[in-house]
Amino acid sequence: MKKQVVVYKKLSPELMARLQAQAEVTLIEDLSPAGMQRLRQALPRAQGLLGASLRLDAELLDLAPQLEAVASVSVGVDNYDIDYLSQRRILLSNTPDVLTETTADTGFALILATARRVVELATLVRAGQWNSNIGPRHFGSDVHGKTLGIIGMGRIGEALAQRGHFGFGMPLIYHSNSPKPAVEARFNARYCSLEQLLQEADFICLTLPLTAQTHGLIGAREFELMRPESIFINISRGKVVDEGAMIEALQQRKIRAAGLDVFEREPLDHDSPLLQLDNVVATPHIGSATHETREAMARCAVDNLLAALAGQRPANLVNPQLWPQAAG
Ligand code: DGY
């Protein structure tokens, strides 16, 4: 008998067909209140779940007593109660690797956009305010040759380092749980404390996951350590930063600018003070949002889910302690 799968993210026809060949699929088109109602109704028979952007906590999981596997279409797993999933012996998988380069591209887009004031000045042109050659009031700052500071040297951090080092000749400093000799050798990078990095880097880029340890890592004290020339880039998770402290630092020009793809609350409130600041470039969590990468992520999630439901180890198992016991 085919297993029951609930999908709460739209898949391409090709991937939907692959899933349907192996499982009975219920598609929840969106996570509106009506969609959530349909999801709750479908959970009691679900053996597999596939989707993203939904906080899957004990309350929802308790509606799914038959659940065997959850495949997240994301690399970040901060939306999942991993302890509870593991306690229930439910396999959780994610989609690393396939989004690394695209997310690093987004990071660099924000670096260039903030330093060269691309959005602000393009808006000026569009508004018909380009009336003479621009002068120092509208100059930006260089990217090449400036010090790139990366907080969290995982896959995406490395991809950002590659772009900075080989593409823009940027001296590289980084902070992570532990020094990474291979990264240091490849990019001539220097490991340093968080405090040192905040004081020295021209571009401070967050690429680390949201966990209990990183929640609120960058707050008022950390913004105080940055310099008025510093540009702050966040492509990780909004909750790693105290947004109120960041807004204050930007308003008081304690830092030059911020390029932000993630926020404490998403979608960002339309009346957020961030949107009043011309030294902020805000994008709607587009780190991995290209046609190619989102399809690759969805394919990876489908592969993970089908493997798990077939009693095989998913390639990207987040709770490996369940294996091989979970297969029974
Ligand atoms: C990820 O994959 O974690 C991206 O941030 C999209 O949520």
Task: Give tens-digit pLDDT for 124-162.
Answer: 999 999 999 999 999 999 999 999 999 999 999 999 999
Residue of the CA atom closest to atom 6 of ligand 1: 74
Position of tokens 């790693």?
240
- 40 CB burial (10 A radius; 0-12, 13-18, 19+): middle
CATH class held by domain 3-96+291-327 = alpha beta
Select from 73, 74, 80 the residue to mutate for testing ligand 1; criterion: most ligand atoms less than 8 Å from CB: 74
Closest CA to 96 of 326, 311, 304: 304
Torsions phi, psi for 91 (to 5 deg): -75, 130
Mean pLDDT of 13-25: 98
CATH architecture for the domain at 100-282: 3-Layer(aba) Sandwich (3.40)
Residue of the CA atom closest to atom 1 of ligand 1: 74
Per-residue pLDDT reduced to its tens digit, 268-323: 999 999 999 999 999 999 999 999 999 999 999 999 999 999 999 999 999 999 99
Identify the active-site residue in 165, 285, 294, 299: 285
- Rounded to whole angstroms, the Cα distance separating 296 from 4 reads 23
Torsions phi, psi for 92 (to 5 deg): -110, 130
237 counts as catalytic: yes
pLDDT of residue 13: 98
Per-residue pLDDT reduced to its tens digit, 190-223: 999 999 999 999 999 999 999 999 999 999 999 9
pLDDT of residue 8: 98
Residue of the CA atom closest to atom 4 of ligand 1: 74
Q: What is the pTM of this model?
A: 0.96
- Rounded to whole angstroms, the Cα distance separating 265 from 272 reads 10
CA of 136 to the centre of ligand 1 (A): 38
Pinpoint the residues of the chain covered by CATH 3.40.50.720. 3-96+291-327, 100-282
The DSSP 8-state label assigned to residue 318 in this structure reads S
